[in-house]
Amino acid sequence: MAIDNKVVLVTGGTGSFGKKLVEVILDRFRPRKLIVFSRDELKQHEMAQRFDDVTYDNIRYFIGDVRDRERLYRAFDGVDIVIHAAALKQVPTAEYNPLEAVKTNVLGAANVIDAAIDRNVKQVIALSTDKAANPINLYGATKLCADKLFVAANSYSGDHGTRFSTVRYGNVVGSRGSVVPFFLKFKKTGGVIPITDPRMTRFWITLPQGVQFVLDCLDHMDGGEIFVPKIPSMNIMDLAKAVAPECEHKVVGIRPGEKLHEVMVPEDDARRTLEFDRYFAILPNLNKRDTPAHRSGRPCPDGFRYGSDNNTDWLSLDGLRTMLKEVEIEPA
């Protein structure tokens, strides 16, 4: 693996993704050093109770914010690989605090890029979201901007400089802020579940699957790709039936900033997208290279679109129930 005997830093390392990533890395790999970078001292303290620096002598905890360029320069010194997971991710929060979302998701991404290039980091892989494809809310717009910054960063890092790529995937089953914990609250109380639109569909992935996909992409990234995993879709009504079959439903309408269906490979991007057995790779407009990692990919046909509504892989009720048994459900 690309991370064995390397110094790895995770921004947003105390979030849902960061904690699972740290758990997987410490359990399965042997990095020379693993740095957890985040701004929440309480979460770092709680995380250190589980992953202490005596049992795990290669773990380090850095307090810092991606908005703080100087702190990133200090933290990235000697780092080989950066996994950038820090972001403001709640759609309503970003709508109400737009400049705060821009400072973290856009300017923070620019700081990560500058620090990585100037500190000679070898690889950076950033987490994105399906909401960055054809965005209609501010959160998605900031992540699309960040995606483009990371792709373009390969152009000015030089042929032998830092390589940047992005991973884009859908809703994480059971994560805080997702609809599953929200529905479970109604299951406990026996209330009526509000449904935005019975036609609504979403992509679904588990946290372990997301972590594994990021680690896989580290191994075959060349720089500039936006990697999209092939994951199942599910209709919102089927989701409600699987989570709380005993509850009634009430249609309340789509909320501001919400789509009927999500897209991870828009039609306009499909012209430069390669399909592989388990994922898609959207290639950059500039600095496209003919590399062994890309030669096994198949060009997507004209007019192709990878959306949650036209997906060929659908999650059944039993499939979702099985998935829920295998994941940790965070509080809503």
DSSP, collapsed to helix, strand or coil, labels residue 172 as strand
User: Would you say 105 and 142 are in contact if contact means Cβ atoms under 8 Å apart?
Assistant: yes
- From the list 163, 168, 164, the residue with the least C-alpha distance to 144 is 168
Position of tokens 């979403």? Answer: 202
Residue 88 lies in a domain: yes
DSSP, collapsed to helix, strand or coil, labels residue 11 as strand
Residue 301 lies in a domain: yes
User: Would you say 211 and 20 are in contact if contact means Cβ atoms under 8 Å apart?
Assistant: yes
- Please count the helices (runs of H) and the strands (runs of E) in the chain: 13, 17
Q: Which residues are catalytic?
A: 131
Residue 90 lies in a domain: yes
CATH of the domain at 43: 3.40.50.720
CA distance 2 to 11: 18
User: Would you say 228 and 280 are in contact if contact means Cβ atoms under 8 Å apart?
Assistant: yes
Residue 182 lies in a domain: no
Neighbouring-strand partners of residue 82: 9, 124
CA distance 103 to 160: 29
The secondary structure of 195-220 as a DSSP string is ES-TT-EEEEE-HHHHHHHHHHHHHH
- pLDDT for 244 equals 83
Residue 268 lies in a domain: yes
Please give the radius of gyration of the chain, using alpha carbons only, rounded to the nearest integer. 20
Residue 175 lies in a domain: no
Position of tokens 């996909």? Answer: 213
Q: How many CA atoms lie within 13 A of 175 on its CB side?
A: 21
Residues of the chain with pLDDT under 50: none
- pLDDT for 256 equals 83
CA distance 325 to 247: 20
Residue 257 lies in a domain: no
- pLDDT for 172 equals 87
Neighbouring-strand partners of residue 38: 63
CA distance 288 to 307: 25
- From the list 162, 191, 204, 185, the residue with the least C-alpha distance to 308 is 204
- pLDDT for 63 equals 98
Residue 194 lies in a domain: no
- pLDDT for 44 equals 96
- From the list 87, 80, 88, the residue with the least C-alpha distance to 8 is 80
Non-local (6+) Cβ contacts of 322 within 8 A are none
Q: What is this structure's pTM?
A: 0.93
Neighbouring-strand partners of residue 62: 37
- From the list 127, 134, 120, the residue with the least C-alpha distance to 150 is 127
CA distance 329 to 332: 9
Position of tokens 């859908």? Answer: 170
Q: Each residue of 12-58: pLDDT tens digit?
A: 999 999 999 999 999 999 999 999 999 999 999 999 999 998 999 99
User: For residue 64, what are the domain limits?
Assistant: 7-169+205-231+263-307
Q: How many domains does the chain have?
A: 1
For residue 130, what are its two tokens?
A: 């399906």
